[in-house]
Amino acid sequence: METRNEAMLIDGTWRPASDGGTVEIENPANRTIIATVPKATHADLQEALDAAERVRVSWSDTSAWERSTILRRAAEIIRERVDSIAQLLTIEQGKPLPQARGEVHSAADQFDWYADEARRIYGRTIEGPNQLVRTEVRQEAIGPVAAFTPWNFPVMLAARKLAPALAAGCPVILKPAEEAPSACLAMVRAVHDAGVPAGVLAAVTGDPAFVSATLLDSPVIRKVSLTGSVRVGQIVMGLAAKHMAAVSFELGGHAPVIVCDDVDVKAVAAQAARTKYQNSGQICVSPTRFLVARSILDEFEAEFTRASAALALGDGMDAGSELGPLCSARRHDDFAALVEDALARGAVATTGGTSLREELGGHFYAPTVLRDIPKDARVLQEEPFGPLALIVAYDELEEAVEIANNTNLGLAGYLFTDDISRAQLLSEKLRVGMVGVNTFAIANAASPFSGVGLSGMGAESGVEGIQMYLRPKTVMTGISDSLR
């Protein structure tokens, strides 16, 4: 396969880095170099910043209806190009092609949703104590945005930031993930082709630490949106503090799943296994800690293990592949270290627990199920972000809740029960931003995606998502009572 040479979008033009520097992109399924992307220089980033500042007022002053039309057209173009974007996504990120197509369609949904929300940015009037003063609250675009996106959903997570920011009237400088930028750039091209004016949307590639430090050193940036690790979020928050830029972060999770003793065990186990290994477990809301009533533990474990062991691993472009590789050598090695730590401390693998990198040629790791995990194992506190399920028994529901809440991460949680009272009470007690009751489907364009604790702040998607890119302005107007 011929190596592709990608370009950056700066001030309406697709171009290389000003000094010609590039970064190589690897196919994780076979470890071959498949593309290069520009390595942005300080001059490149300054040009993007200057353009965003130049169009800041004109874009926010653009009619909400016009912005809506552009976003709707962006959704249409993304759907027209779904196959080509999905193929890039699979080749550089590793997920099976059907999952890649689903991601691209989800990205289009974001633009569709915010095409409507652009026309529903509402202010309000307030009845005050003085009848000779009128009080109005307006919602205005917060200003230029720096958006940083990860490699696990490089298209959809970028859309979660671009769509509401553009709908609100904010210029955006997007930094795709360095491991998987090509599909994201293809999506950006679709948005650009929908009619976004020059300077309103930029996509820059290269060294993430350099790009973030350079962009956030500028007072032009008034909002930062990041999806990434807790460590990176803490670093970026420190950088944003220099000019008091607003922030919204989604920083990962360690999702608990409480399985009560009144469920159809085989059905829940099968559903759980299907969900667990999507995108090789590299999903921030992936179910990870399965807290199972002791009376059904053996049956659940057997069914879950059987389903896990039966998965077909392979290149995501192959029709029969159900589980692709981990995204990079670093992700493979970090994940393997967590599993090895748990096994060394006494955990038992009912299946998996081994790397398949040498056998299959890419960054593959066998679907792994662990039981009898000691409390001091790192994996009980650190997000594994890979094809790993932890099975833990509980005796009382209070114990399950305590275990579920025993981390500093609180993004998603799940529970399965046929008892409506249990469902209501457990959903209230889980310390997370999102709860799935008898379902793992908890994210869509219309509902807020948010966490608590170290899982971040702010929200993406839904009505709440566009509010992250707006600021309220209070206007009080004194009047004379000329009718008296």
Secondary structure letter of residue 281 according to DSSP: G
In this structure, what is the dihedral angle of CA atoms 56, 60, 66, 71, given to the nearest 10 degrees?
70
Of 226, 220, 206, residue with least CA distance to 237? 226
352 closest CA partner among 281, 259, 269: 281
Rounded Cα–Cα distance for residues 392 and 372 (Å): 7
Which sequence positions are flagged as catalytic?
A: 250, 284
Determine the Cα–Cα distance for residues 25 and 206; give it in Å rounded to an integer: 11
Angle 397-404/420-429 helices, nearest 10 degrees?
Answer: 30
Distances (CA, A) of 190 to 23, 180, 184, 186, 349: 23, 17, 10, 6, 45
Smallest CA-to-CA distance from 278 within 156, 406, 110, 417 is with 156
Residue 206: which of 216, 198, 214, 197 has the closest Cα? 214
- The tokens describing 414, both together, are 């799940």
Using a CB cutoff of 8 Å and minimum separation of 24, what contacts does 149-152 make? 149/174, 149/175, 149/176, 149/177, 149/184, 149/227, 150/177, 150/227, 150/228, 151/93, 151/177, 151/178, 151/179, 151/180, 151/327, 151/328, 152/93, 152/279, 152/282, 152/283, 152/284, 152/327, 152/385
Which helix (H) or strand (E) covers residue 228, if one does? none
Location of structure tokens 């529901």: 397
- The answer to whether residues 59 and 170 touch, using CB atoms and an 8 Å cutoff, is yes
Residue type, 447: S
Report helix angle 97-117 to 156-168, nearest 10.
10
